[in-house]
Amino acid sequence: MEEDWFGPSLEGFLGNNSDRPDADGILTKEEGIGWAKESSAPLFLSGELLDLGNTSTDDFSGVGSTSDINLLYKGAPKDVRYTYGTVEMQLMDQTGHFKIGRDKFDWSSR
């Protein structure tokens, strides 16, 4: 299982965890709030399944850099921007591939 500061890969983690709300690689606001009330374990999502609006390479200082992207201001669909809020991302190359890290939303506050 590949690990870096973003945590384990989704494929490696979810293999035997189909009862989790993140088993399908996405998360609704309601699922996130429910999970936070019952568990302190992190959730893992698939960036390929999320519409992150107009996030682009211009949002980063260069390849390998990280940036806190506020999806509210990036034109992401309402269900995405209000579920994920501000998300830590790392630019992997100049073609716009990036990794998603931790979001900055305190789910337990809901």
Asked if the structure places residue 25 within a domain, the reply is yes
Distance between CA atoms of 4 and 43, rounded to whole angstroms?
15
**Cα dist from 84 to 15, 35, 75, 108, whole Å:** 23, 14, 13, 14
Q: Which domain holds residue 25?
A: 3-48+60-105
- Which helix (H) or strand (E) covers residue 86, if one does? strand 86-91
12 assigned to some structural domain: yes
pLDDT tens-digit readout, 45-104: 787 888 889 999 999 999 999 999 988 899 888 888 777 788 899 999 999 898 888 766
Tens-digit pLDDT profile for residues 79-94: 887 777 888 999 999 9
Whole-number pLDDT of residue 85 = 81
What pLDDT does residue 4 have? 47
Cα dihedral 53, 55, 56, 62 in deg (nearest 10):
-170
Residue 29, domain member (yes or no) = yes
55 within domain boundaries = no
Residue whose entry in the numeric block shows the structure tokens 């998360």: 27
* The token pair that represents 76 in the structure block: 């992401």
What pTM was estimated for this model as a whole? Answer: 0.68
Number of separate domains in the chain: 1
Q: Does residue 75 fall inside a structural domain?
A: yes
